[in-house]
């Protein structure tokens, strides 16, 4: 019987809280010394190591050193905690127990198998050792009793479920209490006895449940579960680094979380506490000042749509299909009956309303048994074609999002599915509990880490993280890295976006970081890197398993890199680039790339391919998407030529201006690249293709400004001989001047897809006359913009502006994925 007027508090200490002597001392400091029931697990790793040697013995050979390690751990604990005269009994206990364990293991080794009874006995030793040591240690200063829970906790199984015989248990405890007087009672967690009187366990992690049993029996005022983390987190902190401790959960939320895999709490802990309305506090014994998580009837409203997410690995999805099941009642009932007979518990069920198929998730280890039992018992249904197929999809996992906030809130499952889709993760089955407190999805096991990150961020529990790989850190690439560096912090605080540059690659080597590269010092880090450039390894790294979103930014002008965009997209990596090679190169490749992007639901963004940072591509796409009709686009799209022609208009000589433009760094190293009009043609090609025209370079009529005779000579020779051709250019200029016009090197795309790149003269009131320096200008004549065209003007070259165009694409991508 419970002693009158005593308000007990139950404390449970997990294995990590009892790892060594120091931890035992810390445990003592957490206790008041009065009215305490202290339930303990085995000391850290003991149960797992005992399980390991048991399995090894079954295979015929067990590792003696493992057992020796467990023994030494306990012996040195006793030595450190207790004065010499109190050690002997415990030393003797350890000696006898390890001798017994070795005999049992020897037996197991001989018969190459062990029964559940043997397993229970072996695994149950750890809790007895830790509880006895703690009893002796606390006994140094207090009135402490020891209780082997196997002498009072009676359990039985019915249809595969574990039950407590509360009456028998209460009676046994009362008998114990009648004979014992204590201020603190140390109880072994995890162990119990069957109704037949055999020692058993409550299953792995069962000490939490033991503590709840004690809390109910003692009608405790509170139950403290002391562990090695600051409470229940929004996700397993070992898998989602940005997870954080939840302040408060309702019993029901905690139950869903525990049931769906959150190892921090055994699922059966909740029921006894709930029944007696005992609040549960999950706290960190290493950091008691942290507030921890409170579990009670009332949960605190969270500002998020969900409280937490969790996962169960190693799931098999069993599918039963057959047109004959439609409208035939009772098949589902039969199926679950068969599973029950095999003692296989079903974790999740989903049945399409067509009744054509039933699918459910069970632990992977039972997949073969389940399929066989179903085949055996549903033979008639299979022969008569009511059921056509029964099969298991192994290597699945369940991810569940949990929270009272979901009740009655529209769009949570939409958000979940959308977030997973954006992370390129396929949903195999989905189920929502009727409580609406839990939505679970079945996905491929190897994608579970990535899914956890994506969903955690998708519901704003953590920042949206983008894994970025930058190829070609030249002037534009460097400017982009600088811009990312400067805005990173603000993006994080204002928009919850984490831009993690995890790889930088130039033509020779690459710099890869597991988390992110410190952008302040990337040049010296890349310089010091000894890793040779390898595109495939680079892509794999950027995509490594748990990043939900990966993007490669190609800042090269290389056709070689552009030819790999399809591989990146196929792998699930988005691509952003100012490189025109893919959009302005081979038509078949361009078409393949575009359709792959659609098919894979990925993003390929290339605003900076035409006129650097000017919003040309996006404007064009918007016009098309909103149903406008493009009549023509004309423009001055080369910053270099724009500069040359505006200087020519001042009466200067062609050769002199070209040389000056080269000296200013406006031209390509070989100015003929610009003067040939090829670059202009490529930009027009990009625009024409964006408009849907199937055109290639040979369809563009280009006016080449390089005299024929100078096409192949060296750059120096070209520059030295160019003055011979100045008169030709001056003649055209004079002609234009005579008409009161000015010359421009312009490109145009027409509605029929025809493309022209030429020198043309324009009247003084034409918008082109506003061009200055290296300005670009694009004029859109459309059905809607027919009286006045839509004009975009501004610098069309330069590292800063090009980088800002790429950066805008990157942020666009982040917003698409939000
Ligand atoms: P103990 O030995 O104290 O019983 P466990 O190892 O059984 O501790 O449980 C604590 C561990 O559970 C944590 O260290 C953490 O790795 C894991 N865990 C899984 N999911 C969660 C979660 N949602 N919140 C907190 N911890 C979690
Ligand atoms: N010692 C047992 C285990 O490791 C019980 C527990 O720690 O809760 O599973
Ligand atoms: Mg545990």
pLDDT in tens, 568-578: 999 999 999 99
- The chain-wide mean pLDDT, for the chain, equals 92
Instruction: Evaluate if residue 151 carries a pLDDT over 60.
Output: yes
Residues in the chain: 818
Quick: pLDDT tens for 240-253: 988 999 999 999 99
CB of 15 shorter than 6 A to ligand 2 = yes
Q: Assign 434 a pLDDT band (cuts: 50, 70, 90).
A: low
Cβ-contact 559, 537 below 8 angstroms? no
Statement: the pTM of the whole predicted model exceeds 0.75: no
Q: Which residues are known to be catalytic?
A: 683
Give the E-state strand segments of 637-706 in sequence order.
700-702
CA atoms in the 13 A half-sphere facing the CB of 537: 11
Res 5 pLDDT > 60: no
- Predicted confidence band of residue 538 (pLDDT cuts 50, 70, 90): very high
**Residue 190 CB less than 6 A away from ligand 2:** yes
pLDDT at 807 exceeding the cut of 70: yes
Pocket of ligand 1 (CB under 6 A): 14-16, 41, 205, 227-229, 232-233, 235-238, 262-264, 308, 310
Q: Which of 808, 803, 807 lies closest to 478, judged by CA? A: 803
536 CA → ligand 1 middle, Å? 37
Protein residue closest via CA to atom 6 of ligand 2:
205
Q: Whose atoms come closest to the Cα of 254: which ligand?
A: 1
The predicted-structure confidence for 587-614, as pLDDT tens digits, reads as follows 999 999 999 999 988 999 999 999 989 9
The answer, yes or no, to whether any atom of ligand 2 lies below 6 A from the CB of 206, is yes
pLDDT band at 4 (very low <50, low <70, confident <90, very high): very low
- Residue bearing the bigger pLDDT, 580 or 817: 580
In whole angstroms, give the CA distance from residue 293 to residue 243: 14
Are 188 and 15 in contact by the 8 Å Cβ rule? The answer is no
Q: Which of 399, 415, 457 is nearest to 814 (CA)?
A: 457
| Ligand (nearest to CA of 41) | 2
Q: Write the pLDDT tens digit of every residue in 476-529.
A: 999 999 999 999 999 888 877 889 999 999 999 999 998 899 999 999 999 999
Q: Examine the pLDDT at 717 and tell me if it is beyond 60.
A: yes
Average pLDDT over residues 654-669: 86
Checking if the pLDDT of 624 tops 50, the result is: yes
Query: Contact, 190 vs 210, CB < 8 A?
Result: yes
pLDDT at 159 over 90: no
Nearest CA to ligand 2 atom 4: 47
> From the CA of 229, how far away is ligand 1's center (Å)?
7
How far apart (Å, rounded) are the C-alpha atoms in residues 28 and 561?
A: 63
Helix or strand (DSSP H, E) at 273: helix 270-275
The pLDDT confidence band at residue 200, using thresholds 50, 70 and 90, is: very high
Residue in 74, 204, 208, 268 to alter for ligand 2 test, most ligand atoms within 8 A of Cβ: 204
CA-to-CA separations, 672 to 137, 407, 528, 559, in angstroms, rounded: 88, 67, 36, 19
What lies within 8 Å, CB to CB, of 119 at 6+ separation is 51, 54
Q: Which run of H or E residues covers position 487?
A: helix 475-495
Residues 511 and 468 sit within 8 Å (Cβ to Cβ): no
214 contacts 206 by C-beta, under 8 angstroms:
no
State whether the beta carbon of 188 lies less than 6 angstroms from ligand 2.
no
The DSSP code for 148 is -
What does DSSP assign to residue 233?
A: B
Q: pLDDT tier at 463 (50, 70, 90 boundaries)? A: confident
**Tens digits of residue pLDDT in 348-403:** 888 766 667 888 999 999 999 999 999 999 998 888 888 899 999 999 999 999 99
Q: Are 585 and 555 in contact (CB under 8 A)?
A: no
Would you state the structure tokens that stand for residue 214, as one six-digit string?
């004690």
- Is any atom of ligand 2 closer than 6 Å to the C-beta of 585? no
CB 779 within 8 A of CB 789: yes
Has residue 60 got a pLDDT over 60? yes
Residue with tokens 């910053």: 639
How far is residue 785's CA from residue 792's CA, in Å, rounded to a whole number?
Answer: 13
pLDDT digits (tens, 9 = 90+) for 262-290: 899 999 999 999 999 999 999 999 999 99
Res 2 pLDDT > 70? no
Q: Which residues have beta carbons under 5 A from ligand 3 (an ion)?
A: 14, 205
* Calpha distance 387→382 (Å, rounded): 5
Distances (CA, A) of 707 to 659, 724, 727, 745: 16, 10, 12, 16
- Count Cβ atoms below 10 Å from residue 761 Cβ, excluding itself: 18
Q: For ligand 1, atom 1, name the residue with the nearest CA.
A: 14
Parallel, antiparallel, or unpaired for β 389-402 and 429-432?
Answer: unpaired
Q: Mean pLDDT throughout 788-812?
A: 93
């Amino acid at each position: 019987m419970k002693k009158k007027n005593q308000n007990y508090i139950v404390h449970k200490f997990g294995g990590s809280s009892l790892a060594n002597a120091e931890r035992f001392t810390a445990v003592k400091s957490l206790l008041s010394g009065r009215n305490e029931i202290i339930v303990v697990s085995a000391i850290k790793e003991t149960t797992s190591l005992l399980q390991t040697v048991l399995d090894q013995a079954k295979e015929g050979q067990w590792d003696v050193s493992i057992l020796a390690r467990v023994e030494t751990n306990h012996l040195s604990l006793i030595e450190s905690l207790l004065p010499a005269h109190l050690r002997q009994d415990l030393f003797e206990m350890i000696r006898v127990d390890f001798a017994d364990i070795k005999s049992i293991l020897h037996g197991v080794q001989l018969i190459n198998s062990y029964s559940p009874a043997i397993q229970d006995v072996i695994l149950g030793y750890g809790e007895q050792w830790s509880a006895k040591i703690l009893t002796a240690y606390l006994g140094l200063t207090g009135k402490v009793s020891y209780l082997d829970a196997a002498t009072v906790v009676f359990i039985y199984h019915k249809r595969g479920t574990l039950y407590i015989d509360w009456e028998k248990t209460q009676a046994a405890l009362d008998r114990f209490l009648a004979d014992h007087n204590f201020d603190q009672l140390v109880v072994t967690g995890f162990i119990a006895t069957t109704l037949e009187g055999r020692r058993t366990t409550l299953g792995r992690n069962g000490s939490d449940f033991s503590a709840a049993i004690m809390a109910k029996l003692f009608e405790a005022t509170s139950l403290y579960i002391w562990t090695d983390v600051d409470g229940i987190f929004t996700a397993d902190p070992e898998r989602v680094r940005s997870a954080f401790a939840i302040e408060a959960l309702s019993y029901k939320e905690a139950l869903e979380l525990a049931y769906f895999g959150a190892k921090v709490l055994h699922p059966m802990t909740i029921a006894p506490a709930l029944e007696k309305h005992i609040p549960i506090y999950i706290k960190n014994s290493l950091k008691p000042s942290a507030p921890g998580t409170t579990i009670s009837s009332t949960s605190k409203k969270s500002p998020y749509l969900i409280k937490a997410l969790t996962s169960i690995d190693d799931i098999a999805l069993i599918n039963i299909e057959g047109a004959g099941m439609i409208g035939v009642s009772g098949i589902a009932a039969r199926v679950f009956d068969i599973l029950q007979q095999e003692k296989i518990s079903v974790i999740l069920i989903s049945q399409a309303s067509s009744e054509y198929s039933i699918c459910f998730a069970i632990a992977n280890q039972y997949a073969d048994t389940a399929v066989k039992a179903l085949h055996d018992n549903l033979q008639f249904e299979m022969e008569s074609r009511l059921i056509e197929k029964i099969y298991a999809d192994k290597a699945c996992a369940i991810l569940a999002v949990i929270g009272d906030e979901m009740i009655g809130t529209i769009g949570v499952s939409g958000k979940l599915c959308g977030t997973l889709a954006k992370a390129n993760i396929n949903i195999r089955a989905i189920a929502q509990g009727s409580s609406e407190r839990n939505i679970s999805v079945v996905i491929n096991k190897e994608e579970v880490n990535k899914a956890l990150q994506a969903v955690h961020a998708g519901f704003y529990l953590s920042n949206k993280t983008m894994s970025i790989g930058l190829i070609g850190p030249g002037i534009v690439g460097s400017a982009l890295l600088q811009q990312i560096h400067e805005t990173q912090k603000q993006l994080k605080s204002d928009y919850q976006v984490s831009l993690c540059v995890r790889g930088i690659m130039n033509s020779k080597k690459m710099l890869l970081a597991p988390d992110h590269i410190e952008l302040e010092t990337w040049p010296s880090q890349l310089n010091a890197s000894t890793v040779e450039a390898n595109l495939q390894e680079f892509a794999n790294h950027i995509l490594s398993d748990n990043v939900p979103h990966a993007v490669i930014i190609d800042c090269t002008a290389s056709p070689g890199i552009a030819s790999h965009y399809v591989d990146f997209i196929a792998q699930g990596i988005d691509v952003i680039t100012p490189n025109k090679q893919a959009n302005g190169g081979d038509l078949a490749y361009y078409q393949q790339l575009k359709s792959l992007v659609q098919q894979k639901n990925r993003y390929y963004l290339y605003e900076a391919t035409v006129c650097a940072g000017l919003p040309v591509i996006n404007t064009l796409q918007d016009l098309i998407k909103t149903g406008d009709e493009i009549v023509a686009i004309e423009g001055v799209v080369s910053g270099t030529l724009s500069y040359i022609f505006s200087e020519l208009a001042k009466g200067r000589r062609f050769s002199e201006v070209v040389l000056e433009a080269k000296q200013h760094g406006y031209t390509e190293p070989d100015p003929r690249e610009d003067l040939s009009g090829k670059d202009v043609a490529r930009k027009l090609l990009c625009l024409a293709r964006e408009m849907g025209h199937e055109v290639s370079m040979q369809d563009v009529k280009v006016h080449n400004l390089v005299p024929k005779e100078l096409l192949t000579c060296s750059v120096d020779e070209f520059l030295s001989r160019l003055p011979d051709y100045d008169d030709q250019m001056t003649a055209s200029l004079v002609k234009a001047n005579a008409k009161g016009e000015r010359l421009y090197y312009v490109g145009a795309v027409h509605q029929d897809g025809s493309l022209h790149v030429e020198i043309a003269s324009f009247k003084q009131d034409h918008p082109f006359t506003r061009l200055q320096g290296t300005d670009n200008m694009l004029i859109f004549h459309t059905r809607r913009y027919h009286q006045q065209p839509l004009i975009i003007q501004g610098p069309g070259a330069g590292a800063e502006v090009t980088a800002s165009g790429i950066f805008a694409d990157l942020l666009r991508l982040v917003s698409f994925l939000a």
